[in-house]
Amino acid sequence: MSDTRFDPASADPRWQAAWENAQTFRADSDSAKPKSYVLEMFPYPSGRIHIGHVRNYTMGDVLARYKRATGHEVLHPMGWDAFGMPAENAAMEKGVHPGGWTRDNIEHMKAQLKRLGFALDWSRELATCEPDYYGHEQALFLDLYEAGLVYRKESEVNWDPVDMTVLANEQVIDGKGWRSGAPVERRKLAQWFLKITDFAEDLLEGLGGLDNWPDKVKLMQENWIGKSRGLEFSFDLSNGETLPVYTTRPDTIFGASFVAVAADHPVAQALDSEAAREFIALCKRGGTTAAELETAEKLGFDTGITARHPFTGADLPVYIANFVLMDYGTGAIMAVPGHDQRDFEFATKYDLPIPRVVAPGVEEAGKPFDGEAEAGEGVLVNSDFLDGMAVDDAKREIITRIEAQGRGEGKTVWRLRDWGVSRQRYWGTPIPFIHCETCGVVPAPKDSLPITLPEDVDFKTPGNPLERHPTWSKVDCPTCGGAARRETDTLDTFADSSWYFLRFASQPSGKPFDRDEIAKWLPVDQYIGGVEHAILHLLYARFWTRALARIGLIDVKEPFASLFTQGMVTHETYQLGDGSYLSPDQVRKNGSDWVRIEDGAPVDVGRVIKMSKSKKNVVDPDTIIDHYGADAVRWFMLSDSPPERDLPWSEAGIEGCSRFVHRLWRLFSAYDPQAQGEDKALDRRTHQAIAAVADDIESLGFNKAVARIYELTGAVEKAQPSASRSAAIRTLVQLAAPMMPHLAEEAWAAIGQDGMVADAPWPEVDPALLVEDEVTIAVQHKGKLRDTLTAPKGASKEALEEMALASEKVQRSLDGAAVRKVIVVPDRLVNIVT
Ligand code: ANZ
Ligand code: ZN
């Protein structure tokens, strides 16, 4: 074999072309082999692949290649989550069309991904912004509507009064519109909803079966679904009405010192006073996110109405409060400032009593509060018949008594809301409905799908271009034939990512997917992505899958059998004195200080944090692939850190990986098919490595697999030429192939193997070689090591004693002394006492 250097610049594209020509990674839905569906969360086509993508897709790729080698028919697809706001922002800022911008980005990023040599079935590539995808989504939406899982209702949105547009929560910054800077108002608009709450119980229960999901993700989902057991009961009001409230802490009822309702609550709306109306208007300003409501200053308005306490008979003041949400529970609360922080802040501000009703022990009933509410558990105090009871018992007692009074009942309440999917923007899936003056809201006929987006739109004026378009929304009513108007809302892009894994598995042209083909591939065997999608994306995907199963389109309920959330790639940051950031290639080390290369200006080195454009602590995948080749980059992504942890990028690290690629190549170059002789120890190490690397990849312990390959490489380098050594080299090529596929193909060909290593089966393990069958025994006399013996593993005490006494060195040490006792520790040690 030649002793040329391995040249990624020529090898990488050559093997990528070879895989493509042979359609090596094309998934066959009719294959009889066991299936394996490996999926990484598909990227948003922002413009460039970033290093986080590289890490994510490299992990999936190693698993996919390994699964192929172990006899699986592997589905490993890739596509684009291509709708969404950045394309519209680009349209507004740069005057480009969102479609053109998106498709250019896809083309560029696809080329970048191809340079990494991923084992993807590109024949199944899809982009959610193409009618061939979103048209099927429209059909599914209509199916869900028919099944009663889609409805329209009035709901609040963030309204920018200057730009005259609805804003997404993330476009509201400090209560102001991100473009206009105008204070955002809350407005009611009729919007489309998906009935995810119908599945709340099932989504919660299903978590119990997801053994291969991270616990933290399951916990986040559980909290988001938020099942709580509480009490709904009614206060009698001084105006003769009753006011239902919901509480999860009925035990604290003796600590209620006021009652509060949401600004939208009928009790508030019915007030006939200018001051009340002004206060309600004030509450409407500011964002609608829970986080904003949580942190906003607590504001209240005393309605003058009082509520009668069901046990003490005290008259409690009724306030309108800005922290009470209309769409949770009943939109009204009994406020217990001693034990709820929001109520505490409110009571402090408006000088209301803060009684203690829970304390660590009964003798601490008079303990003062330390500037905040105490949510802690304990025993009830200052609570009449509840005094001394534990919290759970007290809860039960109050529920029983309130139910006996006929004033309310114990109730299960869910935090999960129905999913509002309406977005008043252009770059999304048009919602397939038609508004008719006569017939109302009518579903678009299925044969009119796909309802495609108009191309001729402008983004110079704010607002939704679909609404402004002169002709797009004009249609005939499918029912009465009269003039009607298309729905101009588009779907939340989370809808697009809620079923893409189904379309990857099956893509007939006339329907969203084929039921049998879905049954063949689903569930996804291994899903890999960022923990930032732990809640919404995964919950919505689990919901769509269940909803489609309920209406009989598929037979699987839980889409992702295993989930892995990978850590981030991090890098230190560099800042000038004025706080501005510099990129790693703008700085260098000067002695123990850092300076800007350009002018020697001093640079502060900051913390190691997630790579992000705004902090400039990024490395560009293209640049490093140019420099080191795809395999060194892939190897680095897998090496240093366990995959769930953050991976600090370092120049030294990638250099080391690159050196290892070439070191392996030199070793492969030393392959001698003619070498003779057996090296039992090396055979054993080789087979142990095969088994271990397989285990490590199966459990996604990529860094461990990497370490084993380093170990075996070291052992082969030290070994003398032999048939065993040649076999070890061949094995190393195969073990490294999932991680460094280009180098492995090049080596496989160079050492004269048939076909491509990508098609070679995973090397077989000889189980006999996995057990260490010989052990080294230390023989001691007078506390000193006299000899070491090689003995069969598990040899008897008698046999070891006999071997030890037969040793010449031992006999010399004994020098004729009488042996009093021999202590044998099997497989370890023989100690001779004289
Ligand atoms: C009395 C109480 C005492 C409460 C206490 C909490 C602690 P979770 O557990 O998150 O579901 N609440 C009820 N409806 C509300 C609404 N529409 N807007 C704002 N807050 C509301 O929250 C349930 C608790 O949140 C309820 O229990 C209620 O306050 C409040 F020591 O009642 B609690
Ligand atoms: Zn009509």
pLDDT at 290: 57
Ligand 1: centre distance to CA 315 (Å)? 20
Ligand 2: centre distance to CA 464 (Å)? 24
Residue 823 confidence class, pLDDT cut points 50, 70, 90: very high
pLDDT tens by residue, 353-394: 999 999 999 999 999 999 999 987 899 999 999 999 999 999
**Is 292's pLDDT higher than 70?**
no
Spatial CB neighbours of 657, under 8 Å, sequence gap ≥ 6: 628, 632, 633, 635, 636, 639
pLDDT at 1: 47
Residue 329 CA, closest ligand 1 atom number: 14
Ligand at minimal distance from the CA of 439 is 2
**Is 529's pLDDT higher than 90?**
yes
Residue 256 CA, closest ligand 1 atom number: 1
Q: Residue of the nearest CA to atom 7 in ligand 1?
A: 340
309 three-state secondary structure: coil
Residue 287 confidence class, pLDDT cut points 50, 70, 90: low
Structure tokens of 399?
């529920």
Spatial CB neighbours of 714, under 8 Å, sequence gap ≥ 6: none
Decide whether any atom of ligand 1 lies within 6 Å of the 228 Cβ: yes
DSSP state of 212: B
Q: Residue of the nearest CA to atom 29 in ligand 1?
A: 247
Ligand at minimal distance from the CA of 226 is 1
CA distances from 397 to 250, 393, 403, 661 (A): 9, 6, 10, 70
CA distance 281 to 292: 17
The helix (H) or strand (E) run that includes residue 441 is strand 440-443
pLDDT at 579: 87
Decide whether any atom of ligand 1 lies within 6 Å of the 223 Cβ: no
pLDDT tens by residue, 330-350: 999 999 999 999 999 999 999
Decide whether any atom of ligand 1 lies within 6 Å of the 356 Cβ: no
Mutational pocket test of ligand 1: of 243, 254, 340, 402, the residue with most ligand atoms within 8 Å of the beta carbon: 340
Which residue, 9, 116, 128, is CA-closest to 57?
A: 116
Which residue, 773, 681, 754, is CA-closest to 722?
A: 681
Which residue, 261, 228, 219, 203, is CA-closest to 418?
A: 203
Decide whether any atom of ligand 1 lies within 6 Å of the 328 Cβ: yes
Ligand 1: centre distance to CA 226 (Å)? 13
pLDDT at 293: 65
CA distance 488 to 434: 9
Decide whether any atom of ligand 1 lies within 6 Å of the 334 Cβ: yes
pLDDT at 60: 98
Residue 323 CA, closest ligand 1 atom number: 19
**Is 2's pLDDT higher than 80?**
no
Decide whether any atom of ligand 1 lies within 6 Å of the 753 Cβ: no
Residue 342 CA, closest ligand 1 atom number: 20
Ligand 2: centre distance to CA 436 (Å)? 5
Ligand 2: centre distance to CA 491 (Å)? 23
Q: What is the mean pLDDT of residues 596-604?
A: 92
The helix (H) or strand (E) run that includes residue 574 is strand 569-575
Ligand 1: centre distance to CA 253 (Å)? 12
Q: How many Cα atoms within 13 Å fall on the side-chain side of residue 307?
A: 27
596 three-state secondary structure: strand
Q: What is the mean pLDDT of residues 649-666?
A: 95
Q: Residue of the nearest CA to atom 19 in ligand 1?
A: 324
Output Rg (C-alpha) for the chain, integer angstroms. Answer: 34
Decide whether any atom of ligand 1 lies within 6 Å of the 250 Cβ: no
Ligand 1: centre distance to CA 230 (Å)? 9
**Do residues 379 and 361 touch, judged by C-beta distance below 8 A?**
yes
Q: What is the mean pLDDT of residues 574-593?
A: 89
Sign (positive or negative) of CA dihedral 279, 280, 281, 286: positive
Instruction: Give 564 or 458, the one with higher predicted confidence.
Output: 564
CA distance 109 to 54: 11
Number of Cβ within 10 Å of residue 474's Cβ equals 11
Decide whether any atom of ligand 1 lies within 6 Å of the 339 Cβ: yes
Ligand 1: centre distance to CA 324 (Å)? 9
The single residue listed with the structure tokens 């021999």 is: 822
Q: What is the mean pLDDT of residues 156-165?
A: 83
pLDDT tens by residue, 486-502: 999 999 999 999 999 99
Decide whether any atom of ligand 1 lies within 6 Å of the 336 Cβ: yes
pLDDT tens by residue, 608-631: 888 888 888 888 899 999 999 999
pTM of the model: 0.84
Mean pLDDT score of the chain: 93
Ligand 2: centre distance to CA 477 (Å)? 5
CA distance 505 to 641: 32
CA distance 297 to 414: 26
Torsion of CA 779, 784, 785, 786, to 10 degrees: -80
Quick one: the chain helix, strand, coil %, rounded to 5? 40, 20, 40
Residue 336 CA, closest ligand 1 atom number: 3
Ligand 1: centre distance to CA 304 (Å)? 23
CA distance 405 to 229: 20
Decide whether any atom of ligand 1 lies within 6 Å of the 247 Cβ: yes
Share of the chain above pLDDT 70, in %: 98
pLDDT tens by residue, 241-274: 999 999 999 999 999 999 999 999 999 999 999 9
**Do residues 419 and 408 touch, judged by C-beta distance below 8 A?**
no
Q: What is the mean pLDDT of residues 795-813?
A: 90
CA distance 601 to 577: 9
CA distances from 68 to 26, 33, 34, 689, 690 (A): 11, 10, 10, 19, 16
Q: Residue of the nearest CA to atom 25 in ligand 1?
A: 247
Residue 228 CA, closest ligand 1 atom number: 11
Ligand at minimal distance from the CA of 482 is 2
Residue 583 confidence class, pLDDT cut points 50, 70, 90: confident
pLDDT at 790: 84
Decide whether any atom of ligand 1 lies within 6 Å of the 638 Cβ: no
Q: Residue of the nearest CA to atom 28 in ligand 1?
A: 247
CA distance 192 to 141: 11
pLDDT tens by residue, 89-123: 888 889 999 999 999 999 999 999 999 999 999 99
pLDDT tens by residue, 436-459: 999 999 999 999 999 999 999 988
Decide whether any atom of ligand 1 lies within 6 Å of the 425 Cβ: no
pLDDT at 613: 81
CA distance 571 to 556: 41
Residue 462 confidence class, pLDDT cut points 50, 70, 90: confident
**Do residues 290 and 323 touch, judged by C-beta distance below 8 A?**
no
Instruction: Give 519 or 169, the one with higher predicted confidence.
Output: 519
Q: What is the mean pLDDT of residues 27-41?
A: 98
DSSP state of 562: B
pLDDT at 242: 97
pLDDT tens by residue, 167-215: 877 678 888 887 788 998 888 899 999 999 999 999 999 999 999 999 9
pLDDT at 169: 74
pLDDT at 288: 59
Number of Cβ within 10 Å of residue 422's Cβ equals 22
**Is 564's pLDDT higher than 90?**
yes
Decide whether any atom of ligand 1 lies within 6 Å of the 442 Cβ: no
Decide whether any atom of ligand 1 lies within 6 Å of the 340 Cβ: yes
Ligand at minimal distance from the CA of 476 is 2
Residue 791 confidence class, pLDDT cut points 50, 70, 90: confident
CB-count exposure of residue 64 (10 Å: 0-12, 13-18, 19+): buried
Decide whether any atom of ligand 1 lies within 6 Å of the 322 Cβ: no
pLDDT at 286: 62
Q: What are phi and psi of 118, to 5 degrees?
A: -70, 140
Ligand 2: centre distance to CA 480 (Å)? 4
pLDDT tens by residue, 394-438: 999 999 999 999 999 999 989 898 999 999 899 999 999 999 999
Burial 636-664 (b: 16+ CB within 10 A, else e): bbbbbbebeeebebeeeebeebbebbeeb
Residue 567 confidence class, pLDDT cut points 50, 70, 90: very high
pLDDT at 256: 98
Beta bridge partner(s), residue 231: 247, 410
Decide whether any atom of ligand 1 lies within 6 Å of the 257 Cβ: no
Structure tokens of 672?
């001698």
Ligand 1: centre distance to CA 353 (Å)? 18
Torsion of CA 442, 473, 191, 163, to 10 degrees: -170
Mutational pocket test of ligand 1: of 246, 292, 402, the residue with most ligand atoms within 8 Å of the beta carbon: 246
